[in-house]
């Protein structure tokens, strides 16, 4: 399947900088009621793909090439407003994370563009500083953590000020585990004003439910991940997903927003997928497999749903965050391109063979 939203000219921006920023799964909130003076709290996972590849160079005039040009234009205006970055830049987005799919495209674009423009102007503001200026990290710190360091992440929720939630726990995700993404490209999760309105209309999240989710995170999910015990880790994540999904059901039409993804998750659960759910508002769903072979077998069981529009893809986790490169360094052919699998290059991913191919990739 094609994960990137756009692929254009491979010519790099002259004498500039580029980076590859990973998508992320948002695995659920812990305390949306703020019963202990901190609201939300999140779990998430950084993905090796799909991802954002973007290049920026100083220029004589502002020029925006590739996908997400409207977003880039607004972000450049905010960067100039908050930091005084007055030198025009050329921006080239050669690969984009799908919009409104639950994969964190907006935060990764904002942080990537802000970091690149800042460095070209001789500054290095912290990622949280950039997030505040660009109106990201309002509820979750997972996207910021994915950008900075990758891995499995837990943030501590939003406090009383406007500081993005801090990452309070981070563990590497086992190299052999695979994530089977369940994408529904013609469907979009809630975003923008509809998302804001949905949060306002939702009932107060019960304190006892928040306590249970925090207990699951601290005493089951994190220890199980540290010991690479997928069944225990999966049971915690799946219960968190069920609780949060049912709370969001009035806003998104059910525990999972896409009926097609919901059908795939139900089927994979009967096949033994212990760790499953939906990222953010969806529609992207996920299951975690012990290895690529198991993930490929599960993907093969979804052939009829693929005919209806489901797009499964097997990926690894990202345990390192962003990858930087210089665009005038031999066209950076030894950087992000080698670090990503077929899906990131716009190639079709065949479920029956993807696990064998990805074993040959060096992520």
Residues of the chain short of pLDDT 50, as ranges, are 1-14, 329-363
Q: What is the pLDDT of residue 173?
A: 98
pLDDT tens for 166-224 read 999 999 999 999 999 999 999 887 667 777 787 788 889 999 999 999 999 999 999 99
pLDDT of residue 345: 32
Output the six-digit token pair for 1.
């399947």
Query: Which pLDDT score, from 0 to 100, does residue 250 have?
Result: 92
DSSP states of 19-51: EEEEEEEEEEEEETT-TTS-BEEEEEEEEEEEE
Q: What's the pLDDT tens digit per position in 97-114?
A: 999 999 999 999 999 999
Q: Give the pLDDT of residue 202.
A: 87
Task: Name the pTM for this structure.
Answer: 0.85
Can you give the residue ranges of every domain in the chain? 17-328+343-359
Do β-strands 89-95 and 40-58 pair in parallel, antiparallel, or remain unpaired?
antiparallel
Which three-class secondary structure state does DSSP give residue 89?
strand
Q: Are 264 and 310 in contact (CB under 8 A)?
A: yes
DSSP state of 158: B
Model pLDDT, residue 190: 63
Average pLDDT, the chain: 87
Pick the CATH number of 17-328+343-359 from 1.10.10.10, 3.30.470.10, 3.30.230.120, 3.20.20.80: 3.30.230.120
How far is residue 3 CA from its own chain's centroid? 13
Q: Please name the residues in contact with 125: beta carbons below 8 A apart, sequence gap of 6 or more.
A: 83, 114, 118, 133
140-to-42, 86, 188, 296, 345 alpha-carbon distances in Å: 6, 30, 20, 32, 29
């Amino acid at each position: 399947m094609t994960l990137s939203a756009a692929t254009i000219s491979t010519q790099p921006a002259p004498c500039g900088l580029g980076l590859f920023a990973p998508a992320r799964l948002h695995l659920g909130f812990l305390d949306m009621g703020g019963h202990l003076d901190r609201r939300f709290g999140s779990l998430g996972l950084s993905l090796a793909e799909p991802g954002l590849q973007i290049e920026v160079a100083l220029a004589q005039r502002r020029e925006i090439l590739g996908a997400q040009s409207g977003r880039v234009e607004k972000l450049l205006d905010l960067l100039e407003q908050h930091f005084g970055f007055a030198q025009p830049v050329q921006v080239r987005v050669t690969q984009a994370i799908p919009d409104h799919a639950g994969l964190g495209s907006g935060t990764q674009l904002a942080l990537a563009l802000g970091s690149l423009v800042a460095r070209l102007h001789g500054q290095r503001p912290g990622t949280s500083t950039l997030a505040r200026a660009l109106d990201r990290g309002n509820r979750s710190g997972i996207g910021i953590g994915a950008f900075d360091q990758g891995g499995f992440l837990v943030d501590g929720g939003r406090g009383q000020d406007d500081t993005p939630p801090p990452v309070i726990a981070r563990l590497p995700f086992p190299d052999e585990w695979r994530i089977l993404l369940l994408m529904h490209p013609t469907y979009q999760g809630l975003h923008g004003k509809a998302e804001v309105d949905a949060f306002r209309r939702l009932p107060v999240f019960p304190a006892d439910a928040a306590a249970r989710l925090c207990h699951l995170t601290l005493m089951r999910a994190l220890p199980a991940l540290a010991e690479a015990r997928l069944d225990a880790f999966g049971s915690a994540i799946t219960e968190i997903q069920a609780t949060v999904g049912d709370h969001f059901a009035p806003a998104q039409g059910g525990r999972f927003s896409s009926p097609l993804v919901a059908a795939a998750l139900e089927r994979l659960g009967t096949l033994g997928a212990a760790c499953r759910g939906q990222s953010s508002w969806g529609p992207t769903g996920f299951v975690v497999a012990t290895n690529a072979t198991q993930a490929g077998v599960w993907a093969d069981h979804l052939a009829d749903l693929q005919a209806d529009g489901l797009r499964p893809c097997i990926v690894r986790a990202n345990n390192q965050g962003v990858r930087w490169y210089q665009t005038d360094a031999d066209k950076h052919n030894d950087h992000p391109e080698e670090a990503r699998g077929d899906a990131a290059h716009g190639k079709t991913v065949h479920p029956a063979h993807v696990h064998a191919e990805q074993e040959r990739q060096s992520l």
